[in-house]
Structure 1
């Protein structure tokens, strides 16, 4: 088991300012597929002994310098040792070819983060949780179902990426005919890519915005394409995934066993989010009295990336939940 030597940026290049209450450093760890992942580690300044720890990732197509880093730093301010990591094939993490997605590998990325945290001398290995944002909220639930070492999970403004890939938004394309048409399109692109020797890119968030763009697309643009959230390594801010990069999601079932999660889960969602139905439906399947759903009135999907204009992220609710179940 060896870590690949990655070329990591050492200067602060996040879309949020650094905190005076937190120490920060770059770290790397590897998953069971041999891919080395890059992470930002945040630790409460001046602490000694072992701490509860959190691994954070998401949104889908974002990097650790965006929303996940903000969550990680904010939770370090509240007493947790945290890491925000770039998923395999993206950001500063390893994995070739670039800008591909694998639900299996991405669930493993979360578990590998738990591996790394578990063996640190400053972490209590019995008090490790995870936070997943947007598409990584669904990955977090899948990881929690797979790995009982994850004692608490927070899924914020979550997407079930396999449901969207297979059924379209609001399940509007939930038919064998629609899925077979999508599969045919991907198959044709695979042939074209192999012939050309390179992978076509799908493009990130649409820019410029068409006049008839849905509100949630406008919200994505307002985050990823403006100084609020733009980052040069972010897929969503730039050329996006490869066209075929996420094709395996259509045949996956990320949330297949979430009814069997015994440890604590919190799902946080904005009531005005286009993705709200995914969070509600996932929560309805969870069992046990250690599950909590937090609904934020008036908040959109991307308001929970960084708080938006109304500071919508319920930091104290999240902190209380994680403190209860990890401390």
Structure 2
């Protein structure tokens, strides 16, 4: 593994390159997209490292405005920028002599899964995609974590965000939102209680994952749909992995339904699995990595 810097226009993305112990040849490349609120050192690196052992050149990277990457304002969650980040990493992989530019694929976890779909929908240099515990971050903000709310119910939140952004423009501190609840907040959905245990405890806590995003993110998120044009333009092979017991499973089911006429889409629902199990619990990560490896080998 080695740190790398990836140029995306005026922004430098911080990445971690995982490469097999091979110095020549033409290997497949994998863009690994981290979850919302996460950074490259967490579950994205778990998958990137494991896939490199299977013969893939992989890059886990921090999104624009987050982690060690550039882009102002810091802590902005800009889903359109996240989609473009993936294409910038494809650019980087294409320039590596060891990578076969016709065998570059994308893997995304949680919100990174939604971004992986959006990236592959528009960038057909990406030859296949795999998504794990996928979340369409636009839908999750519009419809709630369970998917049972209405988009119109978020108008008040937009109005409140607008007021805080206005105050910021006149000198107030930027307003921020938490990605996950506090540990032991039993009022939160079970997936998000599990996420608090992952991000806010020694289990996977990282100083660059501070559990905050700017209020300015909310208008961007509510106006974003990772699956918007998948029916028309997503043509590549797709592997969907989700836990049977995950509150977020509806995102995976929705995408599978959008693409239900495709014979190159494979959906795997793992018995007993919850959303966060696929981040670092070997019982779920190990088989997921094997399924992803086998799926990408067929590309």
Seen in structure 2, the aligned counterparts of structure 1 residues 211 and 273 have a Cα distance that, compared at 3 Å, is: closer
Seen in structure 2, the aligned counterparts of structure 1 residues 312 and 301 have a Cα distance that, compared at 3 Å, is: farther
Specify the alignment match of 1:250 in structure 2. 222
Q: Which moved more, 1:46-55 or 1:104-113?
A: 46-55
Give the deviation of 1:317 after TM superposition: 1.2
* Residue among 254, 257, 276 paired with 1:284: 257
Q: TM-score, with normalisation over the residues of structure 2?
A: 0.94
Q: Contact 1:39–1:83 at 8 Å: present in 2 too?
A: yes
Q: Contact 1:166–1:250 at 8 Å: present in 2 too?
A: yes
Seen in structure 2, the aligned counterparts of structure 1 residues 169 and 212 have a Cα distance that, compared at 3 Å, is: closer
Higher-helix-fraction structure: 2
Specify the alignment match of 2:155 in structure 1. 180
Specify the alignment match of 1:294 in structure 2. 268
Distance in 2 separating the partners of 1:217 and 1:175? 20
1:26 aligns with 2:3: yes
**Structure 1 moving runs of 4+ over 6 Å:** none
3-state DSSP of counterpart to 2:113: helix
Give the deviation of 1:197 after TM superposition: 4.4
3-state DSSP of counterpart to 1:170: coil
Q: TM-score, with normalisation over the residues of structure 1?
A: 0.86
Counterparts of 1:109-148 in structure 2, within 5 Å, are: 109-148=85-124
3-state DSSP of counterpart to 1:151: strand
3-state DSSP of counterpart to 1:65: helix
Distance in 2 separating the partners of 1:164 and 1:299? 20
Specify the alignment match of 1:168 in structure 2. 144
Specify the alignment match of 2:165 in structure 1. 190
Q: Contact 1:157–1:268 at 8 Å: present in 2 too?
A: yes
Structure 2: runs of 5 or more not aligned:
none
Q: Which moved more, 1:250-259 or 1:86-95?
A: 250-259
Q: Contact 1:100–1:245 at 8 Å: present in 2 too?
A: yes
Q: Contact 2:16–2:61 at 8 Å: present in 1 too?
A: yes
* Residue among 191, 203, 211 paired with 1:216: 191
For 1:34-54, what per-residue CA distance to the aligned partner results, in whole angstroms no more than 9, with x for missing partners? 211010000011442121000
Give the deviation of 1:196 after TM superposition: 2.6
1:81 aligns with 2:81: no
Q: Which moved more, 1:263-272 or 1:213-222?
A: 213-222
Specify the alignment match of 1:227 in structure 2. 202
Structure 1: runs of 5 or more not aligned:
1-23
Would you say how many aligned residue pairs link Structure 1 and Structure 2? 297
Q: Contact 1:100–1:246 at 8 Å: present in 2 too?
A: no
